[in-house]
């Protein structure tokens, strides 16, 4: 028993770089050899799906992209998944960005889904209004008069020459907001300045680290569901029946979580044994 305790204590003090190597291996392995672990949608992801699915055909949806390359693995699959769902149901999509990098992410997602997969027409089925600096002020501008913020779109086309902008003066002319957010400005600001004051329904997809901050809005009914990090994106892919990059990353995510939990348990046991031993020494 003493030998086992010695071993546990010794392993508990192992160089942290070995832990990095183990995490790297367990994350990499499922990427090369997928395990096909099942993905079951959670209640919050289901809420997002139902909210979007219930919109009548031809609804006008504002999709705001507040993320960049650093959070792309978590948020981009959500944007792609939601775009697929929106175009599948024949909605019109208006894309705005409060983050400068968001414009490039949105362009990539639209190119993949709107142009390559659904063959939609720019200006009639979707428009990329693009990035405007100003954070909350941009949201306020969209709420009061979209033309004050956007005189041209991301392609330099005057707003008044875009057919699908004809009937849109401000946010009241839109039917739904979806915010793909990785921080500030993002979901919280859209809730505070757009969804709550106007009553326009809103859903969101956020990074894992933001979930605790945004979840109270979901529980209070201010947001209709939330896609939480990469698992949320994978669940949405499962709901629309189109597996994408989030689904392929979920095996690695699950295995890595198990290993981290084991490390935490093991580390605590080692810490406990070490403390007991030092108590006996004194």
- Which residues of the shown chain bind another protein in the complex (CB under 8 A)? 15-17, 20, 23-24, 27-28, 31-32, 70-74, 100, 130-134, 136-137, 140, 151-152, 158-159, 188-189, 191-193, 196-197, 207-212, 216-217, 219-222, 228-231, 245, 248-249, 252-253, 256-257, 260
Residue 78 is encoded by which pair of tokens? 């959500």
* 87 vs 131 by CB, closer to another protein: 131
Q: How many CB atoms lie within 10 A of CB 203?
A: 25
**Rounded least distance, CB 194 to another protein, Å:** 9
Report, in Å, the least distance between residue 133 CB and another protein.
4
Q: Using the minimum distance from each CB to another protein, give the nearer residue, 55 or 168.
A: 168
Biggest distance spanned by C-alpha atoms of the chain: 82
C-beta closer to another protein: residue 52 or 218: 218
Q: Toward another protein, which CB reaches closer, 212 or 281?
A: 212
Place of tokens 């995510």: 253
Least spacing, CB of residue 188 vs another protein, in Å: 8
Q: How far apart are CA 212 and CA 197, in angstroms?
A: 23
- For another protein, the closer CB: 54 or 209: 209
Positive or negative CA dihedral for 236, 75, 202, 85? Answer: negative
CB nearer to another protein: give 118 or 184.
Answer: 184
Dist CA 116 CA 104 (whole Å): 17
* DSSP run (H or E) holding 226: strand 226-228
Residue 17 exposed, middle or buried by CB count within 10 Å (0-12, 13-18, 19+)? exposed
CB of 198 to another protein, least distance (A): 11
What is the C-alpha separation between 229 and 249, in angstroms, rounded?
12
Which stretches of 211-244 are DSSP H helices? Answer: 211-219, 229-240
Type and span of the H or E element at 62: strand 60-66
CB of 225 to another protein, least distance (A): 15
* Shortest reach from residue 124's CB to another protein, in Å: 21
């Amino acid at each position: 028993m003493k030998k086992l305790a010695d071993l546990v204590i010794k392993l508990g003090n192992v160089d942290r770089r070995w832990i990095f190597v183990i995490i790297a291996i367990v994350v990499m392995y499922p990427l090369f050899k997928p395990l096909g672990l099942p993905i079951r949608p959670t209640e919050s992801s289901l809420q997002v799906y139902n909210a979007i699915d219930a919109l009548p055909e031809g609804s006008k949806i504002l999709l705001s992209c507040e993320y960049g390359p650093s959070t792309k693995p978590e948020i981009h699959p959500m944007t792609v998944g939601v775009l697929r769902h929106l175009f599948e149901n024949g909605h019109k999509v208006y894309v705005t960005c409060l983050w400068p990098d968001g414009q490039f992410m949105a362009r990539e997602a639209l190119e993949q889904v709107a142009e390559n997969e659904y063959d939609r027409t720019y200006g009639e089925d979707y428009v990329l209004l693009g990035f405007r600096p100003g954070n909350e002020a941009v949201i306020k501008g969209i709420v009061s008069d979209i033309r004050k913020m956007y005189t041209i779109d991301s392609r330099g086309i005057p707003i008044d020459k875009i057919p699908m902008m004809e009937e849109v003066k401000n946010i009241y002319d839109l039917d739904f907001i979806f915010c793909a957010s990785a921080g500030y400005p993002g979901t919280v600001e859209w809730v505070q300045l757009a969804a709550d004051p106007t009553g326009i329904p809103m859903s969101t997809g956020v990074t894992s680290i933001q979930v605790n901050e945004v979840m109270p809005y979901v529980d209070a009914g201010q947001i209709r569901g939330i896609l939480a990090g990469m698992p949320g994106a994978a669940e949405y892919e499962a709901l629309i029946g189109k597996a994408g990059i989030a689904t392929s990353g979920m095996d690695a995510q699950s295995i890595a979580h198990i290993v981290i939990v084991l490390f935490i348990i093991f580390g605590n046991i080692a810490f406990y044994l070490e403390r007991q031993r030092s108590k006996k020494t004194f």
